[in-house]
Structure 1
Amino acid sequence: MFKKFVSANKKALQKFKRNSWGVFSLVFIVVLSLFALGAYIIAPDNTVNANNGDVSISTQKPGFTVKTINIPLGNKNKSSVFDYFTGKEIKEQFIPVLSYTFKGDTLYYKEFSVDPSTSQTKYVLTNVFPDADQKSIEENHIKTKKYLLGTDNQGRDYLSRLLVGARVSLAIGFIAVFISLIIGITLGALAGYFGGKTDAFILWLINVIWSIPTLLLVIAITLALGKGFWQVFIAVGLTMWVEVARVVRGQVLSVKQMQYVTAARALGFSDLRIIFKHIIPNIMAPVIVISAANFASAILVESGLSFLGLGAQVPVPSWGGMIKEHYNYIILGKPHLALIPGLAMCLVVVAFMMIGNALRDALDVKG
């Protein structure tokens, strides 16, 4: 029995490997997940939520380069290893400039402006820098910043916001699918195994939830729990368990009459042990396929909530929130501000759907 189980898994793995689009999509999701986990390590702006910007350089095009004067803020909190995962505090105020010059103990600079003729000349005393001499200031505090994807409407690095925003989209998928699996598998298995009034009640509950449009139900739960990062995860998870429960119930109904279940009952095993140790491991193939599709759906639902202002709240970046902040720039000659996060979202959703199709073929799950 064990050898047959292993060989079946190997056969499914071989089928999956032969699906080039499925393999490519899986690699893409894994790489994106690694980028999201290490967002603050590879992002140009590694401050918390990549929120360090200046409105004078807002909505600049990809490849934009500017000189900056970085003035220490006097924040003496020491960095820790956790900063590479949660982001660092803003320790320097950066000022975009067109040009600068030193005169005695004063640094004069022209503020950055799209129209240089309107630029104002300002100054800062050199004693605000740790090393007050001109050479050390130029080496350590005057830098050239390049924004590979340009800047957003607040002058923040768009690439950094995109990378940090990937965390929200992937996290909502993982957590929402995890919640939906726990609820859906439990209720579906109980309904299919025990039948009778238990089955009737759970079916009634499934039908009630199924009859309510998903987005409206998520909005209602979000309003009840409050706006926020974790509230969205819970709200989406609580609306995605219905399809899992229906599939699990159907699978349990067909499996509970098989000989190995009858043998387990004859040996005196408890109902819960039979359900969770013997039945559920044998019906996971269709559940895995549904989970891949639900992952994509969760990303889209979260993006819709963020677009409506009910998802991750400012300044936490999310792809849906980035589209909301910049969709009006589509007709203002800067469509990339809305199209880039939209394209990223589209690629992730398509990748998960491709993985789901590949798993369906590999596991021979009939629709």
Structure 2
Amino acid sequence: MAKTGKSLTGLALQKFSRNFWGVLSLGLIVVLVLIALFAYVLAPEKSQNANWGDLAIHSKSPGFTVNMLHFSSPGTAKFKFSHYFTGNPNPEVKIPVLKYTVKGDSLTYYEYTDEPSLAISKTIPLTEFGSAANAATVEKDFIKQQKFILGTDSQGRDLLSRLIVGSRVSIAIGFVAVFISLVVGIFFGAIAGYYGGKVDAFVMWLVNIIWSIPTLLLVIAITLALGKGFWQVFVAVGLTMWVEVARVVRGQVMSIKQMQFVTAARALGYSNRRIIFNHILPNSMAPVIVISAANFASAILVESGLSFLGLGAQPPVPSWGGMIKDHYNYIILGKPYLALAPGIAMLLLVLAFMMVGNALRDALDVKSE
């Protein structure tokens, strides 16, 4: 066999780079991760959880444009750099207006409504916007046109902003749940495969018990035990995904511990912990990496199912599953995009992880060319 001068990792990366769909999917995942990290930079609505809305403009079609009258209330927090990552907890008050007129030292505006004849008019003094406010400054600084690229949801909130901010939940659940499943699964799988005997029998008994319970039912039980919330869902999903990792790691460890380099390590007097973590596990990670990519997709789908059932991320935290739950009835009411937008986003993310997993499987397969 010709010498390539490359490590196994280098060869695997080279094979992965030749997989068009794998590279494209990885690029999509990187883009979505960046969008999630800088959600409030990209989202048009900067309020925390993109939760600002007005029922007067609910369920508007994509491209909807309206004039917004901005007020600076005493409790309004000045936008800070940290708000680019957390959102503005106290955004300024905004009112959608149908039309307005400025006469003298007062402003008369008509609140937005689908029936202009029913619009309610209000008149306020220009001093509401500051002691030095005049007609020119009010029209320039306090009345701004706002466009909703994807329209508004059933609560009058910007759908695009909710979609962008909601990506944080789906991507975070993947990372946290997979991390938990790897820590727990690798630990139990390693000790079961290495020590065998009663330890192996106990671990496999525990794995079979967990495996026999439907995943969604087990997640619901753990969620109810820990309570509804953001982090409780992450822990619940992670604790249900470790069994597959444990079984794969167990099989890999049982195979690798019979090899000569492990026997040599024992002869040199190395401790069991050092043999497991320094010699066996590094040589058994290829299938675990592939499983982790698939578990990312599974975790996203499980979290979405929980959010749809009302057990996932709780309002006002946006999540794609929760957005589908809130708007699935609009599919037959003439505005299916309210449910299809988060559904398509979820589909693309899950498909990307599955394609990356398939590409990794091919790249790490030593039998393939």
Contact 1:286/1:365, CA 8 A, preserved across alignment: no
Shift of 1:6: 5.3
Aligned-pair identity in percent equals 67
Q: TM-score, normalized by length of structure 2? A: 0.96
Listed one character per residue, the Cα deviations across residues 298-342 of structure 1 (whole Å, up to 9, x for unaligned) are: 000000000000000000000000000111111111100000000
Listed one character per residue, the Cα deviations across residues 248-267 of structure 1 (whole Å, up to 9, x for unaligned) are: 00000000010111111111
Corresponding residue number in structure 1 for 2:260: 259
Corresponding residue number in structure 2 for 1:221: 222
Runs of 5+ consecutive residues of structure 2 not aligned to the other structure: none
Q: Does 1:74 align with 2:58?
A: no
Corresponding residue number in structure 2 for 1:107: 107
Corresponding residue number in structure 1 for 2:163: 162
Shift of 1:78: 4.3
Shift of 1:134: 1.0
Matches of 1:362 and 1:219 in 2, distance apart? Answer: 36
Contact 1:188/1:248, CA 8 A, preserved across alignment: yes
Contact 1:285/1:365, CA 8 A, preserved across alignment: no
Q: In structure 1, give the amino acid aligned to 2:59.
A: T
- Following TM superposition, the consecutive aligned residue runs of length 4 or more in structure 1 with deviations greater than 4 angstroms are 3-6
Runs of 5+ consecutive residues of structure 1 not aligned to the other structure: none
Deviates more, 1:281-290 or 1:261-270: 261-270
- Within a 5 Å distance, the mapping from 1:127-138 to structure 2 comes to 127-130=127-130, 131-138=132-139
Q: Does 1:230 align with 2:246?
A: no
Q: In structure 2, give the amino acid aligned to 1:190.
A: I
Q: Over aligned residues, Cα RMSD in angstroms?
A: 1.4
Q: Secondary structure at the match of 2:7?
A: helix
Corresponding residue number in structure 2 for 1:182: 183
Deviates more, 1:9-18 or 1:288-297: 9-18
Corresponding residue number in structure 1 for 2:16: 16
Q: Secondary structure at the match of 2:90?
A: coil
- Within a 5 Å distance, the mapping from 1:278-297 to structure 2 comes to 278-297=279-298
Q: Secondary structure at the match of 1:283?
A: helix
Contact 2:324/2:339, CA 8 A, preserved across alignment: yes
Q: Does 1:193 align with 2:176?
A: no
Corresponding residue number in structure 1 for 2:344: 343
Q: In structure 2, give the amino acid aligned to 1:296.
A: A
Contact 2:77/2:91, CA 8 A, preserved across alignment: no
Counterparts in 2 of 1:205 and 1:365: CA distance versus 1, 3 Å:
farther
Listed one character per residue, the Cα deviations across residues 30-70 of structure 1 (whole Å, up to 9, x for unaligned) are: 01100110000111001100011111000101111001100
Deviates more, 1:158-167 or 1:89-98: 89-98
Shift of 1:77: 4.0
Contact 2:59/2:156, CA 8 A, preserved across alignment: yes
Shift of 1:115: 2.0
Corresponding residue number in structure 2 for 1:323: 324
Q: TM-score, normalized by length of structure 1? A: 0.97
Matches of 2:143 and 2:222 in 1, distance apart? Answer: 49
Q: Across the two proteins, how many residue pairs are aligned to each other?
A: 364
Contact 2:77/2:90, CA 8 A, preserved across alignment: no
Q: In structure 2, give the amino acid aligned to 1:161.
A: R
Matches of 2:259 and 2:220 in 1, distance apart? Answer: 42
Counterparts in 2 of 1:138 and 1:281: CA distance versus 1, 3 Å:
same
Corresponding residue number in structure 1 for 2:55: 55
Counterparts in 2 of 1:4 and 1:184: CA distance versus 1, 3 Å:
farther
